[in-house]
Amino acid sequence: MKPGARLQSAIDILGDIFASGRPADRVFDQWARSSRFAGSKDRAAVGEIVYTVLRRRAELSAAIETFEPRLLAFAALLLVDGESPATLSDLADGSAHAPAPLADKERAILEKAVLPGADAPLSTRFNYPEWLHAELEEAFGPRLEQEMAALLERAPTDLRVNALKMKRADALLALGEAGVGGEECPLSPWGLRLTSRVNLPGLALYRDGVIEIQDEGSQLACLITGAAAGEQVVDLCAGGGGKSLALAAMMGNRGQILACDTDMRRLAALLPRAKRADIRNLQTRVLGPFAPGEADGDLGDLEARVDCVLVDAPCSGTGAWRRSPDARWRLAPETLGGYHAAQDEVLARGARLVRPGGRLIYVTCSLLPSENEHRVAAFLAAHTDFALADWQDHWPEGAARPSALPGGALRLSPASTGTDGFFIAILVRKAGT
């Protein structure tokens, strides 16, 4: 594929993303499977343009004062990648599969294009919706610029080593023997961070359940639960089951973990993964609707009996913006309000299951106080039999401690811990309640 054809492909994909509102990774994957792409180099080159535009959308839109996929792609090459106007003209030469030549109006726009300077609003310079500024400022205060800049960087690929099958040092050695570069994650005792590209499904380590893709922050959320052998644990919003698998390995296949979700298909996909990982203490349960004031028809048998309930709540995903740069532009105020309601509901549902002295672990991959501190405060106001514990008191002895922001809950972020953004609150049910 010629450079001009790559540019036109990027323009077409951006147009599809903006018009459909679908997640960029799904749109890109659909295009990548088409015959238009000759190989991985073409996909990488096109992806570089697409994701640069998505990461720098606010800056680029301000620089050219338009929101046209074609001009955004040109501006990305010109302003971010440092290409010259002459190069753009060569790429847009109107040949087969290449963009049409630049019109005089387009050329004039690009000739005047300059990325916003230091006097531009933070939301423009750091590419996030302006309506979220107050919340992000509440979360980070004077660290806001540093935190938002880190969210524009590329996220690493982290792996969790299945402790039931192999030690981390041995897994790192095995990766090296397979020609894959990696290093130990600084915080998670199971984590490895890749330093080279690899087709993971092609590795025997992956197919045999020795390694799983899981961000180090997600691994730390599991570590802090303290799930131990012999305990009864419920993963209330299991989704794809990555945390369930980590918890089961922590428990050494002793005790029981129940992975729950409202989507039968996601739970069905978890079972083959558990088998591959040699997990034997995991069961699944599909959940129906829940009304806080009524009996729980799906989980009533576990009421006040569970040692640890993990609530990995549905959320905005703002902490994972590095991985899904378009997600920041698909979030709307009404959607965020829906997440708040869902978070309150799932916390109330989980609270019923916790035994006296047990713990409810509330986790989001969000940076927003309205989904984190505010939800915990609302929960504690309604559930006086629970108290917020200091995460440091529950951190495993001997494990490296993150330099997280102070407070009872643990807050992780790309700038402070090098992980995705996570909020983790440990809510302990008071004994005798």
> Is the four-CA dihedral 226, 228, 231, 233 of positive or negative sign?
positive
Q: Please give, one letter per residue, the 3-state secondary structure of 355-418.
A: EEEEEEEEEECCCCCCCCHHHHHHHHHHCCCEEEECHHHHCCCCCCCCCCCCCCCEEECHHHHC
- Of 185, 237, 260, 365, which residue is the catalytic one? 365
Q: Is 185 a residue of the active site?
A: no
Sheet bearing 211-213, strands edge to edge? 182-184, 191-194, 158-161, 211-213
Q: Which amino acid is at 429?
A: R
Q: Which amino acid, residue 33?
A: R
176 C-beta neighbours (distance < 10 Å), count:
11
SS (H, E, C) 188-207: CCCEEEECCCCCHHHCHHHH
- What is the H or E stretch that residue 307 is in? strand 306-312
User: CA-CA distances (angstroms) from residue 415 to 53, 151, 237, 249, 387?
Assistant: 22, 8, 27, 29, 29
Residue type, 88: L
Q: Can you tell me the distance from the alpha carbon of 13 to that of 319, in angstroms, rounded to the nearest whole number?
A: 25
What does each C-alpha distance from 51 to 124, 211, 276 come to in angstroms? 17, 27, 33
Interior CA angle at 200 toward 197 and 206, to 5°? 145
Q: DSSP letters of 131-156?
A: GGHHHHHHHHGGGHHHHHHHTTSPPP
Residue environment code for 415-431, b if the CB has 16+ CB neighbours within 10 A, otherwise e: bbbbbbbbbbbbbbbee
Query: Residue 308's beta-bridge partner residues?
Result: 233, 359
The count of residues in the chain is 433
Which of these, 327, 308, 418, lies nearest to 366 by C-alpha position? 327
Burial class (CB in 10 A: 0-12, 13-18, 19+), 398: exposed
> What letter does residue 101 receive in the DSSP assignment?
P
* Active-site residue set: 365
